[in-house]
A = this chain, B = another copy of it.
Amino acid sequence: MHHPSVNQTNRLFAPQLNVSPRLLLGPGPSNAHPRVLQALSMRQVGHLDPEFLQIMNDNQVLLRYAWQTDNKFTIPVSGTGSAAMEATLANGVERGDVVLIGLNGYFGHRLVDMAQRYGAEVRTMMRPWGEVFTLDEIRAGLAEHRPKILALVHAETSTGACQPLEGVAELCHQYGTLLLVDSVTSLGGVPLFLDAWGVDMAYSGSQKCLSCPPGIAPLTFNERAMDKIMNRASQVPNWYLDMTMLGRYWGNERTYHHTAPINMNYGLREALRLVAEEGLAERWARHRATAELFWEGLASMGLSCHVAAEHRLPSLTTVRVPEGVDSKAVVVALRERYNIEIAGGLGELAGKVWRIGLMGFNSRAENVVLLLAALKEVLK
């Protein structure tokens, strides 16, 4: 065989990897715990090796603990949080299903976009960004739309609001509706009791309160949800996220579907071990205490939070940008002068708030003190 000669145009001799020591206090990723980074670099075994199957089992059990569920179908999806989000809809929705979505932030809009792609007849309930839905509003929405699925965002990363979930599933089940919950910014940092609260489907990310890098994403379905999925009239229109096939790899059959992201599973296991070691109640209390320290500091600086105190997420705070301050310039200055990452607002809140995360390993008093001091300097 005669081959062309190798074109050297794109043969980049890039320097060895090096990045600045950022403190990631934006909406995510948060800094991974050092033990998680170390686990990531463990040598590999194959994705069907008995030792890897044990790691998969560990991850399933540990995810159940973190989510407070006994759901058999609890797995990490081989992608980032959005892949797990799409997996709930790709599997849960059949063409023509009415899906009711709570729209009070950016990620509600993403749910609408995804659900439409899977043929859902999407209905929405609206609240201003930063507010939450009451049980009465939810009851009215269910009664009006009689949806197959109600999707709510437990922790809205775009607004900092925490949607109360107690009592929601009881209402849903009266109408034969499945409750789907986005817990990307709550899992491992904010009280969440999937089984006690009756949640049917949930997804999350690894890079928020679990302090594992992005690239693997928790997903869980209870029996009610699995019944709907296993009795679909049509095939799941997404191969990579088809849980009827993936369930046979994570279940007893261990049938090859796709190669699992081995090292990301290592990292997730270490992140979840840290949750189990600390204890959920203790971890939630730590997130709350750190957030309250931060909120007090903000108040003493004359800065105010966008979300009412009773619905504020401990993991993610939206801080109102004071009149006359260039929000973007503050983000850049914190990064360039102090290696601190925070983020601006998204969508309706663009330019109006900063989004500041105190998640997982980063939820510590020293980070609060540093951020407040740096913010003071930058706002001078």
Contacts and interface: CB of A to CB of B under 8 A. Distances in A.
- Which of A8, A45, A52, A164 counts the most chain B CB atoms within 10 A? A45
A258 to B, nearest CB: 4
Contacts of A64: 9-10
Interface residues on chain A, size class: 35 or more
A22 B7 contact: no
B83 A240 contact: yes
Given A26-B46, A37-B41, A261 B19 contact: no
B68 A79 contact: no
Q: What is the oligomeric copy number?
A: 2
A304 interface: no
Contacts of A216: 215
A341 interface: yes
Interface in A183-233: 191, 193, 195-196, 205, 207, 213-216
- Which of A11, A22, A68, A110 counts the most chain B CB atoms within 10 A? A11
Main secondary structure, interface of A, reads loop
B3 A259 contact: no
A106 B57 CA distance: 28
Given A42-B19, A43-B21, A335-B49, A259 B80 contact: yes
Contacts of A281: 5-6
A26 B12 CA distance: 30
Contacts of A44: 19, 22, 24, 29, 31-32, 213
Interface in A133-167: 164, 166
A64 B9 CA distance: 9
Contact of A261 (B11, B164, B264): B264
Nearest to A211: B44
B276 A11 contact: yes
A174 interface: no
Contacts of A237: 117-118, 237
19 contacts: A9-B70, A10-B64, A11-B276, A13-B277, A14-B62, A17-B42, A19-B55, A20-B51, A29-B47, A31-B44, A37-B43, A38-B41, A40-B41, A79-B79, A81-B259, A83-B258, A215-B216, A215-B264, A237-B237
Interface of A: 1, 3-14, 16-22, 24, 26, 28-29, 31-32, 37-49, 51-52, 55, 58, 61-62, 64-65, 68, 70, 78-83, 86, 110, 113-114, 117-118, 164, 166, 191, 193, 195-196, 205, 207, 213-216, 235-241, 256-264, 266-267, 269-270, 273, 276-277, 279-281, 335, 341, 343, 346
The 8 closest A-B pairs by CB, nearest first: A215-B261, A10-B65, A82-B258, A41-B41, A10-B64, A213-B263, A37-B41, A4-B196
